[in-house]
Amino acid sequence: MNDNLHQLRCFGCGERISGSDARPDFRCAQCGDLFEVEYPGWSQRQSNSRPNPGALKWLWRERRCSSESLDQSGVWRFRELLPILDSYGNAITLREGNTPLYRLTRAARTLGIDQLFAKHQGMNPTGSFKDTGMTAAMSVARERGFEWVACASTGNTSAAMAAYAARAGLRSLVLIPEGKIAWGKLAQAMDYGAVTCQLKTDFDGCVEVLAKIVQEAPIYLLNSVNPYRLEGQKTPAIEIAEAFDWNVPDHLIVPGGNLANSSALGKGFREMRELGLIARMPHISVIQAAGSNPLVRSFAQSGGASLEPVEAHTRASAIRIGNPASWRKAVRVIQETGGWCLDVTETEIAIAKAELGAEGLGCEPASAVTLAGLKKLRADGRVAATDFVVLVLTGHTLKDADYTIDFHRGSLLKEHEAMGHEAEIDALRRNAVAVDATPEAVLAAMKGSAG
Ligand code: F0G
C-alpha cells in the first residue's frame, strides 16, 4: 500500500515539487530557500485523506498498548501526521520519542510560576532530540535506495545519524568542527561506525563543504535542511498536547542553534490546530547563547527580515552556530505564535544548568538556555505567574560531562564571568572531594557539605 501523501513546498517562493524531485542540497531550484513537507489532502475539509481528530486521539492512545515496533516509537505512533513513506515497512526505529515530561517544582517556586514542566528530549535513544527527526529522514533515505548518508554537525546530529544509519545498514559520513564538539558525541559517531572527519573549521564551514560534496556524490543529506527531519521533530509537540489532554501550554521555550527544532515544533502545533486536535498554539520562544545569537540580532536589526551571520562563540557547543539554515522558518513560528527570541550569557547558562541538575534533571548546556531564558521572560512579566510553561531540554547531561565537571570544580567560568554571581554559583557547586578511605573521613565530608 502506498501511504505517501506528501509534497514539498518552498518556504520562500511557494514552488511545489514532489519529494523525489528535491535537489541533493534540499534548496529550491527557483529561489534557493528551504522546503517544508505539505499534505495537500489535509486542507480540504471533505477529503478522505484529512485525518479525523477524534479518531486519531483514540487510535494513538490504543497504540500505547501495542507491541508493534512502529507503535512503540513515539514518532511513528503518530504516523498519520507524517505520511512521508511509501511503506511503513521501511521505517528505521530505535523506539525514539515517548520522552518524559517532568514537573519542575523548585524552579517553579523560585520563579513564582504555578505550572512549569520540562520535556526531556535528551531521554531519546542516542541522548538528544535529533533521534525523532533522524528516524523520519533515515527511513526516507532507505526507501529511496541511498547507500550513503551524511551530515555536518555540532555533535548530536552526527550521533543520531550514525546510529540510525547503522540500524538501516547504510554507510554514514560525519563532518565535525575539529576540537569543538563534546567527547560524548564524538564517541557515539565512532561507536556507530560513521566515517568521521574532523575539519579545521567551524560548524558553518562544515556545512559549506558538505553542500558541495552532496552535489558530486550520491549521498543523502541528513542535516535539518532535509525537510523530513522536521516531520519527526514535530512529534514532541503532539506528545506534549496529548500529555495535557489536548490542552496546550501558554509557553514553549526552545534552544536555538540551526533553528530547525523551533520550526518543527511550531509546525507540529500549527498542523494540530489546523486539523482540530488543539484549539490554539503556545507562544514559542527561542533562546540563543549570547555569543551565538544571529537570530536575536536579526530581530533587533530588521524585525527578522534579514540575518547577518556571526562568528559563533559559546561553551554550549551544540548551538555554536553563526549562520543558521532554518532562520526564516523560526522567524515565522516566533511571529505567528507571539513568542520571543532572546539570548543568555555563559554565566546564566551555567547557573541554569546546575539548577536543573540540582532538581535531578541533567541536561546539556545548550538545553539549559531554556531555563535561563525563562528567568528573563518571567522577570520582565512576559511570562505571568499563572502561565503554564514547558521547557524543551534537548540533550542528555552525559553528552558533555567535561562542562559539568568544570563547573563543579570551579574552572568553567572566568573570573569576570562569575563576578557578581559568586554566592549563587557556590551554592550550586558540588565538587568531588578526596577523602581518606575511612568511615570517619567520609562522615566528616558529609557533615562539611553545604545544605
Ligand atoms: N540543543 C542541542 C542539544 C543541539 O544539539 C542542538 C543542535 C540544538 C539544541 C539546536 O537545535 O539547531 O534545531 O536550533 N544541534 C545540531 C547538531 C546543530 O549538529 O547536533 P536547532
Better-scored residue on pLDDT, 44 or 419: 419
How far is Cα 40 from Cα 44, in angstroms, rounded to an integer? 8
pLDDT-based confidence at 3, cuts 50/70/90?
A: low
Closest to 346 (Cα-Cα) out of 425, 290, 422, 288: 290
* Reported confidence tier of residue 47, pLDDT bands at 50, 70, 90: confident
User: What distance in angstroms lies between residue 408's CA and the mean position of ligand 1's atoms?
Assistant: 24
Atom of ligand 1 nearest to the CA of 260: 13
Cα of 154 vs centre of ligand 1, distance in Å, is 7
**Mean pLDDT, the chain, whole residue set:** 96
| Host H or E run for residue 295 | helix 294-302
Question: Which atom of ligand 1 lies closest to the CA of 330?
Answer: 14
Mean pLDDT to the nearest integer, 316-321: 97
If you measure from the C-alpha of residue 262 to the centroid of ligand 1, how many angstroms do you get, rounded to a whole number? 10
Sign (positive or negative) of CA dihedral 218, 165, 67, 84 = negative
Q: How far is the CA of 336 from the centre of ligand 1 (A)?
A: 22
The length of the chain is 451
Q: How far is the CA of 429 from the centre of ligand 1 (A)?
A: 26
Percent of the chain with pLDDT over 70: 99
The Cα–Cα gap between 373 and 389 comes to 12
Q: Which pLDDT value is given to residue 44?
A: 77
Atom of ligand 1 nearest to the CA of 259: 14
Mean pLDDT of 132-157: 98
Whole-number Å distance, alpha carbon 67 to ligand 1 midpoint, is 31
Residues with CB under 6 A from ligand 1: 128, 130, 153-157, 224, 255-261, 318-319, 364, 366-367, 394-395
Give the mean pLDDT of 237-246. 98
Integer Cα distance of 295 and 287 in angstroms: 9
Residues 410-416 have a mean pLDDT of: 97
Nearest CA to ligand 1 atom 3: 395
pLDDT-derived band at 449 (thresholds 50, 70, 90) equals confident
Q: How many Å lie between the centroid of ligand 1 and the Cα of residue 221?
A: 16
pLDDT > 90: what percent of the chain? 95
Q: State residue 1's pLDDT score.
A: 44
Note the pLDDT of residue 84: 97
pLDDT above 50: residue 103? yes
Among 199, 226, 261, 343, the mutation site with the greatest number of ligand 1 atoms within 8 A of its Cβ is: 261
Ligand 1 atom nearest the C-alpha of 160 is 20
**Phi/psi at 438 (nearest 5 deg)?**
-135, 150
Residue 45 has pLDDT above 80, yes or no: no
Q: How many helices (H) and strands (E) does the chain have?
A: 18, 13
* Closest C-alpha to ligand 1, atom 10: 257
Distance 315 CA to ligand 1 centre (A): 13
> Which residue CA neighbors atom 4 of ligand 1 most closely?
318
Whether pLDDT at 2 is above 90: no
Ligand 1 atom with minimal separation from the 263 CA: 13
What does the pLDDT look like over 9-19, one tens digit per residue?
999 999 999 99
Terminal-to-terminal C-alpha distance of the chain: 62
